[in-house]
Amino acid sequence: MMIFWKARLVFLAVPKTGTTAYQAALGPLAAITVADPPELKHAPVYRYNRFFRPMMEKMGADDMDILAVIREPVSWLGSWYRYRQRSFLDGKAVSTRDISFDDFCRAWAGERRPAFADVGDQSKFVEARPNGVAVTHLFQYEDQARLLGFLEERLCTRIDLPRENVSPRRDLALTPETEALLHKTRAAEFELWLRAGA
């Protein structure tokens, strides 16, 4: 998460949406950059609302906009799957080393997710709070030009985006049945992504 005080902008770090690269490029411009621990770096709206917003408001910033980037759900799952294939996770419950992408997606679509498929939901990450705190600027990960244009204008800077935290390539084929299952059981994720592109 990055907080740009003068620009009155909070950039939430939705996991697997390229935020590590944005943090590398924009961190020096941010008033506050949260890089660790992961629970704070990747603070969702509810955690921002509970811990960071009160601090901002006490300092006179009750008009902060919140930005988040949403990735197409199957692509987002593919990034998680590839990340959890890395050797440093071998032997751990979260590893996807001996699991197919199709099985990973089916496990994620289920009601009780095993550890290897317990990666959360983008829709929960950006869920608005009862007090009205919500994402005000939602972008699709796949439309980097739109996101970069917004940030360059808002922050009055030219952005040179590095490639960071890139997972290894893997076969990400899904059966039609699994793709249909994802759309049926996790429709909110696909609806959110479409809304981000509107």
Tell whether the model's pLDDT for residue 166 goes beyond 80.
no
Q: Looking at the domain that runs over 2-196, which CATH code has it been given?
A: 3.40.50
Residue 163 or 109, more confident: 109
* Per-residue model confidence as pLDDT tens digits over 90-131: 999 999 999 999 999 999 999 999 999 999 999 999 999 999
Question: How high is the mean pLDDT of the chain?
Answer: 93
Per-residue pLDDT of 39-75, as tens digits, reads: 899 999 999 999 999 999 999 888 899 999 999 999 9
Q: For position 5, what pLDDT does the model report? A: 94
Q: Is the pLDDT of residue 162 over 80?
A: no
Quickly state the pLDDT bin for 163 (edges 50, 70, 90): confident
Cα 139 from chain centre: 11
| Contact assessment for residue 45 and residue 125, using Cβ atoms and an 8 Å cutoff | yes
Q: Is the pLDDT of residue 169 over 90?
A: no
| 168 has pLDDT over 70 | no
Rounded Cα gap, residues 73 and 16, in angstroms:
11
State the pLDDT at residue 124: 97
Q: What is d(CA 106, CA 189) in angstroms, rounded to the nearest whole number?
A: 15
The two three-digit tokens of residue 14, written as one number: 């939705």
pLDDT at 167: 60
Residue 82 confidence (pLDDT) above 90: yes
Q: What percent of the chain has pLDDT over 90?
A: 84
Whether residue 186 is predicted with pLDDT greater than 70 in this model: the reply is yes
Q: What is the mean pLDDT of residues 147-172?
A: 83
- Looking at 27-160, list the stretches that DSSP marks H as alpha helix, in order from N- to C-terminal side: 38-41, 45-47, 53-58, 73-83, 101-109, 122-125, 144-155
Contact 48, 12 (CB under 8 A): yes
Nearest-10 Cα torsion for 14, 131, 138, 154? -100
Helix (H) / strand (E) element for 140: namely: strand 137-140
Interval 181-198 mean pLDDT: 95
